[in-house]
Amino acid sequence: MTTQILDGKIISKEVREELKKDIIELKSSGIIPGLGVLLVGDDPASRSYVTAKEKACEDVGIYSSEIRLPSNASRDEILDVVHQFNGNEKIHGILVQLPLPDGTMEQEVIDTLSPEKDVDGFHPINIGRMALGLSAFLSCTPHGILHMLKRSGLSTNGAHVVVVGRSHIVGRPLATMLSQKNELGNATVTMCHTGTKNLARFTREADIVIAAIGRANTITAEMVSDGVVIIDVGVNRVEDATAKRGYRLVGDVDFEAIKPKAKAISPVPGGVGPMTITMLLYNTVESAKNHLSSGRSLE
């Protein structure tokens, strides 16, 4: 069987070309889509994610404005930046890169975002609206995965999808989106997590396995059936003395061992990652369009 490699860079390029056209139109109506970025602390992985997101903005013509705070920034300093972005007419989307150095503040920071600028789709209003099937900003990683499947000709309609991981950012919203009665969903969904007994019993039954666990090589070849579709959301650093930086990035899936069995598989890096960034651009453009049409996005 030849395995289809789900190349997130190629699919992203397609979507980004479409976005560029929308941005040109917005600009001709006097609106430059703008993203406000808040990075707290100096975690190297967060720094590199933010740089990649800002570069992607620049490539498609979205203006971005970054505010960086030290890792010991106070609650008030962080919330002040969110308020500034909320009130700034030039900013249509806000990205607060997570995790924050003080994780206990995260929910309050998310709650403070204007839901109409919450292009990460993390605010309870957006999550609640999404769960009800109403218009909302959809979290970028789950939304990117659904686009990746659809644009690769892999239908979720009637498929048994096993989602491994129940994070608020990926697993939980993804399972909700997949179960909805629309063209990107309509799947039968099983959600597995750290409390699941005998994970392999479920993954072997799956038409599509989506691994969002955060631990290298968790899904092995024995755990899946022939012809499975694999989406690997994990980004894990493993030491590698031969690599320039002393580490390499791998997913949650044993890619080389599973590839010969799979109908399709997404690589790490170059799979889901570029799609996540692309959906951030997509949501920012949507927000700018909402601003143009009414100034109110979620009605």
Active-site residue numbers? Answer: 53, 97, 120
Give the span between the Cα atoms of 26 and 61, in whole angstroms.
11
CA quadruple 124, 128, 133, 135: dihedral, nearest 10 = -40
Q: 5 vs 98, which CB is nearer to ligand GUN?
A: 98
Count of residues touching ligand GUN (by CB under 6 A): 9
User: Interaction with ligand GUN in 214-243: which residues (CB under 6 A)?
Assistant: none
Q: Minimum distance from CB of 251 to ligand GUN (Å)? A: 15
CA angle, 120 then 271 then 289, to 5°? 35
Q: By CB under 6 A, name the one of 54, 116, 118, 120 that touches ligand GUN.
A: 120
Interface mask (CB under 6 A) for ligand GUN, residues 87-106, using x and -?
--------xxxx--------
Where would I find the beta strands (DSSP E) of 58-166? 63-69, 93-96, 160-164
Choose between 155 and 236: whose C-beta lies nearer to ligand GUN: 236
- Write out the binding residues for ligand GUN, residues 39-98 only, by CB under 6 A: 95-98
Q: How far is the CB of 122 from ligand GUN (least distance, A)?
A: 7
How many Å apart are CA 2 and CA 69, to the nearest integer? 48
Beta carbons of 132 and 298 less than 8 angstroms apart: no
Residue (171 or 264) nearer to ligand GUN, CB: 171
- Nearer of residues 140 and 184 to ligand GUN, judged by Cβ: 140
Question: Which among 277, 282, 276, 271 is positioned nearest to 8, based on CA atoms?
Answer: 271
Min dist. Cβ of residue 96 to ligand GUN (A): 6
Assign residue 220 a region (left: φ > 0; alpha: ψ between -120 and 50; beta: otherwise). Answer: beta
Structure tokens at 249: 């990035």
Please pick, from the candidates 112, 126, 141, 203, the single residue that binds ligand GUN as defined by CB under 6 A. 141
Q: Distance of alpha carbon 120 from its chain centroid, rounded?
A: 8
Tell me the residue number closest to ligand GUN, measured at CB: 98
CB of 89 to ligand GUN, least distance (A): 22
User: Which of 40, 130, 140, 230 touches ligand GUN (CB under 6 A)?
Assistant: 140
In this chain, which of 169, 175, 211, 213 binds ligand GUN, going by CB under 6 A? 169
DSSP codes, 205-266? T-SEEEE--SSTT-B-GGGS-TT-EEEE---EEEE-TTSTTSEEEE-SB-HHHHGGG-SEE-
The whole-angstrom separation of Cα 2 and Cα 40 is 44
Query: Which is nearer to ligand GUN, 5 or 270 (by Cβ)?
Result: 270
Cβ atoms of 200 and 223 within 8 Å: the answer is yes
**Out of 64, 156, 218, 276, which residue is the one contacting ligand GUN (CB under 6 A)?**
276
Cβ 286 to ligand GUN shortest distance, Å: 16
Q: How far is the CB of 205 from ligand GUN (least distance, A)?
A: 29
Q: Of 181, 185, 95, 80, whose CA–CA distance to 137 is shortest?
A: 95
Q: By the 8 A CB rule, do 210 and 163 touch?
A: yes
Between 120 and 286, whose beta carbon lies closer to ligand GUN? 120
| Two tokens, residue 71 | 């890792």
Binding site for ligand GUN (CB under 6 A): 95-98, 120, 140-141, 169, 276
